[in-house]
A and B are shown apart, each in its own frame.
Chain A
Amino acid sequence: MTDNALECSLGSRTENVDEDQVLVRRAQRDTEAAGRLYDKYYREILGYIYHSTLDRTVSEDLTSNIFLAAFRHLGRYPWRQVRFRAWLYRIATNEIRMHYRRQRYARTADLEAKRGIAEGSAPCADESPAVAEEYCLLHRALLLLPLKYRTVIILRYFEGRPIAEIVDITGRREGTIKSQLHRGLNQLHEILVRWGVLRE
């Protein structure tokens, strides 16, 4: 049973990689293939950015930057080193980092976390208030973590990326990722305990 599941998983991954490979090759000349590639990953990337920033306007802007950059540099995409999805996530992660650097988020994070998210980027409007409130609270806590910890936690728990893929995305070693996850979770636990969300 496990073997079958593994084979099935491996098969679908290879198929996915092959499909991406074909699409990426064609997308450089063929707009239809480019459209299919875009449609396949748009939602995932926008979701990742949104979970990282919890700001709709910023999410749209960054997603635009990511896809424009990716399709502009599609010819430079290193096939043999990294899968296309990981490559896109890598660009997205860099964009998020650049966004925080531009905004000097480190200095204002505390302030923003205290005053909550601005109205223009009010999160979770379509979600139930409870869901929205819960994630907003968690997001505030995440904003207090160093960016590298925040990135691996979001990738692992909200994007559902396996450790191996996070290794591809961040370009760090597996041990480093596990260590960052461990430390990040510890710090997050401390914050949530301090806020009374979790029991000590």
Chain B
Amino acid sequence: MDSNIERVEQYLRGVRAPDYISDSHRQQLRQQILGQIAERRSAAGHRRRWEVVTALAALICVAGAIGAFIVVKYGAVGQGPASVNQFASEGLEPAPSLSTPDANGTTGVAQAARDLRDMDAAPQKDSTELVQVIESEVNGRLASRMLIPKRQLSSNQMKSLREGDPEIRVQKLLVTLPAAARTEMSQLRRAGKGENLGTQERQMKGRVFLFKRERYTLHDGTTVTLSVGEPKDMRQPLPPVPEGNQP
């Protein structure tokens, strides 16, 4: 058996295998391969460029989203009188008078944002003083209660800002007036067409407040009673409370 293998091995070693070389094929294939490599390299360059562009776009989107979040949180709601920027904090009523001019007399967004942060932080620092309460009743039901605390900012300025009473919110006692009724109510209030109901003494947040009550009757018969309360022992007159959202 092994001699058979030896014989066939010997035979195979004696056979000369023919060679085949094709220069034209070699050149053609060479060009094709190198062309493909160059193409892939260029495609990879394009892809890398697109990746960079996509990454940048994503980065801009993220930055935009963060910016939008900040604007929503401490966002400007437009410009009030005398081109003063107006801002509103999340969950709070718009506060047209919040922005304060800086030392140069100009109002900056950064300054306003700082003020808002101070205002937000003030309750934790216990540097607030409740100076006014505005209540409204629609057809005898409590519609809203706005608290106006006076807060000391980091710039040592005292500011007041309208805030909804959190207790009222939690209890969901609010009765909302349609927009048209709110506009009518504002007009009546500006025209001074309220019926004076006298004053009422009540304790709020551990302080005695004197509420001045006025009743307004809308054209559809809805009665809105507005009570503006101030601490009985308040010495200084309050800065004017901006007329923001009426109940």
Residues of A within 8 A of B (CB): 27-29, 31, 34-35, 38-39, 42-43, 46-47, 50-51, 56, 59-60, 63-64, 67-68, 71-72, 123-124, 126-127, 131-132, 134-135, 138, 153, 157-158, 182, 185-186, 188-189, 192, 197-199
CB distance from B38 to the nearest CB of A (A): 6
User: Judging by beta carbons under 8 Å apart, are A197 and B11 in contact?
Assistant: yes
**Leading 8 A-B pairs by shortest Cβ distance:** A124-B18, A189-B8, A50-B20, A157-B12, A127-B18, A158-B17, A189-B4, A31-B34
Given contacts A185-B9, A189-B7, contact A46 B18 (CB under 8 A): no
| Chain A binding surface SS class | helix
Closest B residue, CB atoms, query A55: B20
Q: Report which of B1, B22, B36 forms a contact with A68, defined as CB distance below 8 A.
A: B36
CB distance from B22 to the nearest CB of A (A): 6
Q: Report which of B4, B26, B37 forms a contact with A42, defined as CB distance below 8 A.
A: B26
User: Judging by beta carbons under 8 Å apart, are B16 and A134 in contact?
Assistant: yes
User: B residues within 8 A CB of A31?
Assistant: 34, 37-38
Q: Report which of B5, B21, B41 forms a contact with A185, defined as CB distance below 8 A.
A: B5
Please tell me if B110 contacts chain A, counting CB pairs below 8 Å: no
Beyond the given A60-B25, A186-B4, could you list 6 further A-B residue pairs with CB under 8 A, ordered by the A residue number?
A: A50-B18, A56-B20, A63-B29, A67-B29, A68-B32, A186-B8
Q: Report which of A28, A135, A186 forms a contact with B18, defined as CB distance below 8 A.
A: A135
User: Judging by beta carbons under 8 Å apart, are A186 and B5 in contact?
Assistant: yes
| Complex Cα–Cα for A64 and B25 (A) | 9
| Chain B binding surface SS class | helix
User: Judging by beta carbons under 8 Å apart, are A126 and B19 in contact?
Assistant: yes
User: A residues within 8 A CB of B30?
Assistant: 35, 38-39, 42
| Complex Cα–Cα for A197 and B15 (A) | 12
User: Judging by beta carbons under 8 Å apart, are B19 and A47 in contact?
Assistant: yes
User: Judging by beta carbons under 8 Å apart, are B33 and A68 in contact?
Assistant: yes
Closest B residue, CB atoms, query A137: B15
User: B residues within 8 A CB of A68?
Assistant: 29, 32-33, 36
User: A residues within 8 A CB of B29?
Assistant: 38, 42, 63-64, 67-68
Please tell me if B172 contacts chain A, counting CB pairs below 8 Å: no
User: A residues within 8 A CB of B32?
Assistant: 64, 68
Closest A residue, CB atoms, query B5: A185
| Complex Cα–Cα for A51 and B21 (A) | 12
Residues of B within 8 A of A (CB): 1, 4-5, 7-9, 11-13, 15-22, 25-26, 29-30, 32-34, 36-38, 41
Q: How many A-B residue pairs have CB under 8 A?
A: 98
CB distance from B86 to the nearest CB of A (A): 58
| Complex Cα–Cα for A198 and B15 (A) | 13
User: Judging by beta carbons under 8 Å apart, are A27 and B37 in contact?
Assistant: yes
Q: Report which of A27, A123, A189 forms a contact with B5, defined as CB distance below 8 A.
A: A189
CB distance from A115 to the nearest CB of B (A): 20
CB distance from B157 to the nearest CB of A (A): 64
User: B residues within 8 A CB of A71?
Assistant: 33, 36-37
Closest B residue, CB atoms, query A193: B4
Q: Can you list 8 residue pairs at the A/B interface with Cβ under 8 Å?
A: A50-B19, A56-B22, A60-B25, A63-B29, A71-B33, A127-B18, A138-B12, A186-B5
| Complex Cα–Cα for A56 and B22 (A) | 9
User: Judging by beta carbons under 8 Å apart, are B1 and A51 in contact?
Assistant: no
| Complex Cα–Cα for A56 and B31 (A) | 20
Given contacts A27-B37, A64-B29, A72-B36, contact A188 B8 (CB under 8 A): yes
User: A residues within 8 A CB of B8?
Assistant: 185-186, 188-189, 192, 198
User: Judging by beta carbons under 8 Å apart, are A192 and B11 in contact?
Assistant: yes
| Complex Cα–Cα for A33 and B2 (A) | 47
CB distance from A191 to the nearest CB of B (A): 10
User: Judging by beta carbons under 8 Å apart, are A59 and B16 in contact?
Assistant: no
CB distance from B225 to the nearest CB of A (A): 80
